[in-house]
Structure 1
Amino acid sequence: MTPEIRILAETKLMGKHMKMSYANNTTSQLWKSFMPTKKLISNAIGSNLHSMQIYPTLFQYENFNPNLEFTKWAAIEVTNFNVIPEGLETYTIKGGLYAVFLHQGPASAFYVTFTKIFTDWLPKSEYEVDDREHFELLGEKYSNTNPNSEEEIWIPIKLKK
């Protein structure tokens, strides 16, 4: 499991968000709410969707708490915030250094890839998690239940001290 190390520029998103925890995961409700409104966004850049998590403190896998609430976004990248359709909100990802992994398989197997990132790759790497936005990029090959589905996992990183 070798990621691409990329520098992300500041990225403007438009979509919807909800507070949730992994124990009380309402991701499907969030996406069901967002998808019908996506067609109202006239200045989207491409069709890739962002599933973003903003944790209240630095995400540390070794101290994982499934009851910790975080903010989850269902969004798409846009050129600007000049026109914001009713019911949608905006967010700007700060940008920075990311480790980008490819998850292949259905969403139900996501935890396997996620666990490998945090228990295998990260401890052996020269990086540590940075306190910024985590997200998955859902492109043309993404399909929630398809065993051939693909999505990119973007983990914010910085060099270890």
Structure 2
Amino acid sequence: MSIGTNLGLTNPIIIDYPETKLIGIRQNMSFAQNTTYKLWAGFMPRKREITNATSNERFSLQNYTESFFENFSPIVSFEKWAAVAVNDFESIPDGMETYTIPAGKYAVFHYTGNSKNATEVFRYILAEWLPQFGYSLDTRPHFEILGDKYRNGDDDSEEDIYIPVK
């Protein structure tokens, strides 16, 4: 039985994630002024312009400052990306940018459920799971991989949540 079953989480696996190149768009936002919908609404119609994607999976990536979670405030901004993994940076569509996820250790949680429950899910991972299992956050990007079973706003949606750990 999974420790996060009531939240739709499986027990995580700990992996060494390889360096990964992304192409996409980004915005600065806060949890109080969340513009995720606007970010993805701007990206999805243009995703097909990225001709060197490695798969159909989408990356929802967040870059937080080192002290973001220590002094958490919903009004503090962070950088969020809507992107896809690519083989190289040789062909970058106009208005899009590149980002490289550095290699490192991640706790990977499989989540089944509605994205409206994200606050509870991430609170559990960061405030309960991390300290209980002796991990701490690393200062690398946090991201979710949205595959073919991801359906925004659907209770049966599936995604993988990658939390940088050390």
TM-score normalised to structure 1 length: 0.93
User: 1:36-55 counterparts in 2 under 5 A?
Assistant: 36-55=45-64
Aligned to 1:148: 156
Alpha-carbon distance in structure 2 between the residues aligned to 1:110 and 1:50: 16
Shift of 1:87: 1.2
Q: Where does structure 1 lack aligned partners over 5 or more consecutive residues? A: none
Give me the identity figure in percent: 47
Whole-angstrom distance in 2 between the partners of 1:48 and 1:37: 14
Runs (4+) off by over 3 Å: none
Aligned positions, number: 157
How do residues 72-111 of structure 1 correspond to structure 2 at under 5 angstroms? 72-111=80-119
Q: Is the 8 A contact 1:59 1:131 kept in 2?
A: no
**d(CA) in 2 for partners of 1:19, 1:59:** 14
Contact 1:106 1:147 in 2 (8 A): yes
Q: Name the CA distance, whole Å, in 1 between partners of 2:12 and 2:68.
A: 19
Looking at structure 2, the residues matched to 52 and 9 of structure 1 have their Cα atoms a distance apart, in angstroms, of 15
Question: 1: CA distance between counterparts of 2:32 and 2:58?
Answer: 24
Deviation at 1:118, TM superposition (A): 1.5
Which residue is equivalent to 2:131?
123
Counterpart of 2:6 in structure 1 is none
Over the residues paired in the alignment, what is the CA RMSD in angstroms? 1.1
CA distance in 1, matches of 2:42, 2:17: 27
Greater strand content = 1
AA of the residue aligned to 1:88: M
Q: For the residues of structure 1 that align with 2:141 and 2:122, how far apart are their CA atoms?
A: 15
Counterparts in 2 of 1:59 and 1:99: CA distance versus 1, 3 Å: farther
Once the two structures are superposed, residues 126-150 of structure 1 have per-residue CA deviations (whole angstroms, 9 ceiling, x without a partner) of 2100011001111111001111001
| CA displacement at 1:113 relative to structure 2 | 1.4
* Amino acid of the structure 1 residue aligned with 2:96: L
2:150 pairs with 1:137: no
Contact 1:58–1:131, Cα closer than 8 Å, also in 2: no
Work out whether residues 65 and 139 of structure 2, in 8 Å CA contact, stay in contact via their aligned partners in 1. Answer: no
